[in-house]
Amino acid sequence: MIINILSKLQTTSKLKYNLFDSSISLFGQLEEVCIEIARELQEKDEGEKAIPIKISKTNDYEFIFRIGGDVLIFILQSNIVKLPEDTYMAKSKYLKSDPDLNYFGQILIYNFLSDTIDFGRLDDPGYLIGRILLNKENKFFLEGDRKIVFNFPELKDNLVSKEKMRSLVEQLILSALNNDLLAPAFHDLMVINYHQKLEHTSSMGNPQKIGFDFFAKNRE
């Protein structure tokens, strides 16, 4: 039994530790790309009133990119995951060639409204517009906004690079900015109680994004 435990620690556990280190590196690269983009936008913004553009670090596993009325929240998951065997990706020839390729680090990118954070509107929705899954070969696949997903190769051909991360972040920003807010029906706002008025004035109308077309299926 001890031999079996030791074997597992020396194989799967070591794989997970190494993969998490790679995920940390990729997360840091994404933060550097966001800082670079923010600086370029600030330098080129010549309007009378500067557009709010800011990068803030919540902790080692999360940072926020605020741009105009939108916020992108990047979250590094601390656990390594394995895809279920019955999913489309797990059945691909590439992953079946080596079981260790089926372990992934995860980075999640959510889109919230800036006002959601400014006013602490806890009931406002956020949208997972991108999920990056990274394997031991430093290859990744992307799930999320369909318009973005189709701009990247399949997992077996999709090696991480700064150029790809730059392209991804730029597309995430445009995706967030291009999706306007949909007003709720008048009847949904017609009657409120006074407690709702006191507690939720800033969120009256509860706007939601309307244009995301999410995609999480294989293209093969």
Q: Per-residue pLDDT tens for 155-183?
A: 999 999 999 999 999 999 999 888 765 55
pTM of the predicted model as reported, rounded to 2 decimal places: 0.83
- From the CB of residue 195, how many other CB atoms can be counted at a distance below 10 Å? 8
Average pLDDT, the chain: 83
Q: What per-residue confidence (pLDDT) applies to 218?
A: 45
112 alpha carbon, distance to own chain's centre: 11
- From the CB of residue 77, how many other CB atoms can be counted at a distance below 10 Å? 17
SS3 state at 15: helix
Residue extents of the structural domains in the chain? 2-182+210-215
Give tens-digit pLDDT for 31-50.
Answer: 999 999 999 999 887 766 77
User: Sorting pLDDT into bands at 50, 70 and 90, what band is 117?
Assistant: confident
